[in-house]
């Protein structure tokens, strides 16, 4: 039987796109690297775990409920979020993690021949979703590790539909303040959708961090992303959301896949809304962990990039993949940054003191 070559059936933009290969599960990684314990310091997860009320919601979830489709539009969660933010529930869309809400926006506003604009060293999914949808992604170099508003606006043309700003930026932690964001929105003049991805907003302690959600009333082309994965430690349940004007969300809703957010995720997320104690406890852990690591890096003479968020980047005097393998042998999992276009950097998730001490001990040993 002649082998069937199906490549000609795929669009050219799919054929040139490289599939993302996730890391192996923890149990397989432990066997591969011969380590008994693994500190996950690679994905910016919250090691404190979900808030107490979310844990209780997960524990109480009735197994029989797994046989029933969840609310197709996360009705109760949208209502709770709308009360918390003082919005109309129809201004909120919930998705299966940040990746899905990114896709919602691009599919809703872009067609082939259009383009999006974002940074070259930021959360890569904006670029990936655009490219595998046949949409051009225009990547603008960072300036001082933050988004360059002037350079972004210079790349706008008649086919630019969406501009993505990650604030604070993953992986650099740099932020636009209130005045910078408002100035950018004024210069856009409503001609494009401006997405501000605030996946790490709850970690930010800077006094001049913008209240982006309140700006939606003045700028109906502004869309804000939030997630329950990072601060609220529900990454394994995959749930995030976007907020925008009624007009913008009405359009984006047409590109949504209903029933994509499972019932357990909705219940756990519902229980986290407004939990300020959990936020403060996590911020304190991050504050203390960063201080410990920064002091050690200064003693070691290593350069680093540290801003807002529960992560930082460290520049090493060796290849980042080599460092990854050597750290993994000691049970320390970090993110290599060559794929983020930061060669020889690693990104470290800030965690509790035990994990930070283990990381610093392992780092010192591989540098020797």
Domain 52-272 belongs in CATH node 3.40.640.10:
yes
Nearest alpha carbon to residue 260 among 243, 239, 242: 239
- Give percent above pLDDT 70 in the chain: 99
- Give residue-wise pLDDT tens across range 280-296: 999 999 999 999 999 99
DSSP of 195-252, one letter per residue?
EEE-TTGGG---TT---HHHHTTT-TTEEEEEESSSTT--GGG--EEEE--HHHHHHH
For the cut 90, the answer to whether the pLDDT of residue 18 exceeds it is: no
The CA distance from 13 to 8, in Å, is: 12
Q: Helices 353-367 and 276-300, interaxial angle, to 10°? A: 20
For the cut 90, the answer to whether the pLDDT of residue 16 exceeds it is: no
Q: What's the whole-number mean pLDDT along residues 109-121?
A: 97
Nearest alpha carbon to residue 271 among 66, 70, 59, 51: 51
- Give residue-wise pLDDT tens across range 215-256: 999 999 999 999 999 999 999 999 999 999 999 999 999 999
For the cut 80, the answer to whether the pLDDT of residue 1 exceeds it is: no
Q: What's the whole-number mean pLDDT along residues 27-41?
A: 94
For the cut 80, the answer to whether the pLDDT of residue 2 exceeds it is: no
For the cut 60, the answer to whether the pLDDT of residue 204 exceeds it is: yes
pTM of the model: 0.95
Per the DSSP assignment, residues forming a β-bridge with 162 are 116, 193
Q: What's the whole-number mean pLDDT along residues 273-277?
A: 95
Pair of tokens at residue 227:
């997630």
Phi–psi pair at 247, nearest 5 degrees: -65, -45
Confidence (pLDDT) at 6: 86
The CA distance from 348 to 333, in Å, is: 9
Could you tell me the residue ranges of all domains in the chain? 22-49+276-367, 52-272
- Give residue-wise pLDDT tens across range 124-153: 999 999 999 999 999 999 999 999 999 999
Q: What is the CATH number of domain 22-49+276-367?
A: 3.90.1150.10
- CA 119, 125, 127 angle in degrees (round to 5)? 50
Task: For the chain, give the mean pLDDT.
Answer: 96
């Amino acid at each position: 039987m002649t082998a069937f070559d199906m490549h000609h059936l795929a669009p050219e933009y799919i054929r040139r796109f490289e599939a993302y290969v996730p890391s192996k599960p923890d149990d397989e990684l432990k066997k591969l690297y011969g380590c008994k314990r693994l500190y996950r310091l690679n994905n910016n997860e919250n090691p404190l775990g979900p808030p107490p009320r979310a844990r209780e919601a997960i524990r109480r979830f009735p197994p029989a409920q797994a046989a029933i489709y969840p609310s197709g539009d996360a009705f109760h969660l949208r209502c709770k979020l709308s009360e918390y933010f003082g919005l109309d529930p129809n201004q909120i869309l919930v998705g299966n993690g940040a990746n899905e809400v990114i896709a919602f926006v691009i599919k809703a506003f872009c067609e082939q021949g259009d383009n999006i604009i974002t940074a070259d060293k930021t959360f890569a999914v904006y670029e990936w979703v655009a490219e595998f949808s046949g949409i051009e992604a225009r990547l603008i170099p960072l300036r001082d590790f933050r988004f360059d508003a002037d350079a972004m606006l210079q790349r706008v043309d008649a086919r630019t539909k969406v501009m993505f700003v990650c604030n604070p930026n993953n992986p650099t932690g740099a932020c636009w303040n209130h005045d910078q964001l408002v100035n950018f929105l004024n210069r856009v003049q409503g001609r494009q959708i401006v997405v501000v991805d605030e996946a790490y907003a709850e970690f930010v302690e800077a006094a001049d961090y913008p209240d982006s959600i309140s700006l939606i009333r003045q700028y109906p082309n502004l869309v804000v992303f939030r997630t329950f994965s990072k601060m609220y430690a529900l990454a394994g349940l995959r749930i995030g959301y976007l907020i925008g004007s009624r007009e913008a969300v009405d359009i984006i809703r047409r590109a949504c896949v209903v029933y994509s957010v499972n019932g357990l995720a909705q219940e756990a997320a519902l229980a986290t809304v407004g939990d300020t104690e959990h936020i403060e406890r996590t911020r304190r852990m991050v504050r203390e962990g960063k201080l410990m690591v920064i002091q050690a890096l200064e003693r070691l003479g290593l350069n680093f990039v540290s801003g807002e968020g529960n992560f930082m980047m460290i520049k090493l005097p060796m290849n980042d993949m080599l460092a990854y393998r050597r750290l993994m042998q000691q049970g320390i999992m970090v993110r290599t940054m060559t794929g983020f276009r930061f060669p020889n950097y690693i990104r470290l998730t800030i965690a509790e003191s035990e994990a930070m001490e283990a990381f610093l001990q392992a780092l010192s040993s591989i540098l020797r």
